[in-house]
Chains A and B, each alone.
Chain A
Amino acid sequence: MAAAGQEQTVSEYIVHHLTNLTYGKLPEGFERYDGETVAAGGQWAFAHGADEISAMGFNAIHVDSLAWSIGLGVIFCALFRWVAVRTSADTPSGLINFVEMIVEFIDTQVKDTFHGNNKLIAPLSLTIFVWVFLMNLMDLIPVDVVPELMLLAGVEYQKIVPSTDPNITMGMAIGVFVLMLFYSIKVKGFGFVRELTMNPFNHWAFIPVNLFMEVVGLLAKPFSLGLRLFGNMYAGEMIFILIAALFSAGFIWLLPAALLQVGWAIFHILVITLQAFIFMVLTIVYLSMAHEDH
């Protein structure tokens, strides 16, 4: 357990694990944890504690989420680029085989669902699937390992599963949403407006009702996409943290906690793959709907 000097309660432990390493701008006049007052014009600093994070508001960056997310994305790109350079029509082997298996799997999924001709969808799906999977995979690393190491290195907070951060999942969902809007307008043109206003009641008097319903339906898509992934991963991470907290409950709890840890981790292998798959499939489905003219 993370013991930052003094004794820590379980709820403090959990809160500590759920706090991002945040770098942001503190507003002018804010009194920091050590009693200092922020000078005029504000101050960019690493947040210490929940008060400072909430004081930063929107002007903050979750350094850990973003670093792990980009780091994993770079790993994905490097790995697949490495294979892309080496693959050829000759007999593939080892890692190349594995990567090609993933590529073929994605290609099949895209071809099954998306019937238009769009060179973006397949690479987009591959990126989403592998990247989200890698981000989810961080969940299987025991919850204390990296934060404790980081603590030794002097970093106060560390949340290593980017997909338990709504910024990360919603960031991707918004990216997909923008693509949905772009292709809806590009493919359907004015038909997109008609779809928003003349559905499901095809009468001019119902335009406000239709518009309301369709816009809600449209906006629900990115939220369902991003929040589903976030919710699942956040809940899974929370349970890992609770199990980890159980280890400190006493000697008698060691074995049950270990069994729970192993059981939940094995179950989570399924969850992380499934969530990555769902995010990808929904992306394909939404973009496919954006391409279909009724």
Chain B
Amino acid sequence: MNINLTIIGQILAFIAFVAFCMRYVWPPILAAMEERQQKIADGLAAADRASHDLELAQKEAVDRLVEAKKEAASIVESANKRAATVVDEAKVAAVAEADRVKELAIAEVEREKAQAKEQLLTQVSTLAIAGAEKVLAAEIDADKHAVLLQQLVKEQ
């Protein structure tokens, strides 16, 4: 248990090791650890931000969905309305067309009726004249009476 030169040697070794540690060991290890700490903190913050963003996005998605549904409903409603009007319009047009056709048909019928009447009148007159001619053939001058009958027809 003598104190001797060993103590000097130990002091020198102590200084050397502390200097080495201070220069080459402590700073890089601590720097790496601090960098990692920063990285982890950043990562956690990013995760927080991401979950917040996700929440916002979900909320927005729900909003959009509601809006889209509303829009779809309004579109369907207006389509229904439009369909109803189209049907109504078509109905009105059809009725009008039917009326027109009917009127045309009636006019045609009227026209044909008038024509038939005229024809019938002509034929009846002719028949009457023929009958009368036969009845009166002997005594009645056909030419003379024909002129009279023609005049009658024209007066009609």
Contacts and interface: CB of A to CB of B under 8 A. Distances in A.
A62 B1 CA distance: 10
Interface stretch (A120-128, A187-195, A248-256): A120-128
Interface string A60-101: 111001100110010011001101110111101000000110
Given A84-B29, A123-B26, A175 B11 contact: yes
A113 interface: no
B6 A127 contact: no
Interface stretch (A4-12, A34-42, A164-172, A208-216): A164-172
Interface in B1-31: 1-11, 13-18, 20-22, 24-26, 28-30
A59 B4 contact: yes
Contacts, number: 131
B105 interface: no
Contacts of B1: 166
Contacts of B39: 89
A119 B26 CA distance: 10
A244 B116 CA distance: 155
Contacts of A104: 33
B25 A166 contact: no
Contact of B21 (A100, A123, A172): A123
Nearest to B3: A167
A76 B2 contact: no
B91 interface: no
A204 interface: no
A86 to B, nearest CB: 9
Contacts of A53: 2
Interface string A23-53: 0100000000000000000000000000001
Given A103-B33, A175-B14, A127 B4 contact: no
A70 B13 contact: yes
B152 interface: no
A31 B8 CA distance: 28
Given A84-B29, A99-B29, A123-B22, A54 B2 contact: yes
A158 B24 CA distance: 32
Contacts of A242: none
Contacts of A166: 1, 3
Contacts of B14: 127, 171-172, 175
A152 B5 CA distance: 27
B89 to A, nearest CB: 75
B3 A56 contact: no
A123 B18 contact: yes
B86 to A, nearest CB: 70
B22 A119 contact: yes
Given A60-B2, A168-B6, A127 B21 contact: yes
Contact of A170 (B3, B13, B38): B3
Contacts of B30: 103, 107, 122
Given A70-B13, A80-B21, A81-B25, 19 more contacts: A22-B4, A54-B2, A60-B2, A60-B6, A65-B10, A66-B13, A73-B13, A73-B17, A84-B28, A85-B28, A89-B36, A100-B29, A104-B33, A119-B22, A126-B21, A127-B18, A131-B17, A167-B3, A175-B18
Interface of B: 1-11, 13-18, 20-22, 24-26, 28-30, 32-33, 35-36, 38-39
Interface of A: 22, 24, 53-54, 56-62, 65-66, 69-70, 73, 76-77, 80-81, 83-85, 87-90, 92, 99-100, 103-104, 107, 119-120, 122-124, 126-127, 131, 165-168, 170-172, 174-175
24 contacts: A57-B2, A58-B2, A60-B2, A60-B4, A69-B10, A70-B13, A77-B17, A77-B20, A80-B21, A88-B35, A89-B36, A89-B38, A92-B36, A103-B26, A122-B26, A123-B22, A126-B25, A127-B18, A165-B6, A166-B1, A170-B3, A171-B6, A171-B8, A175-B18
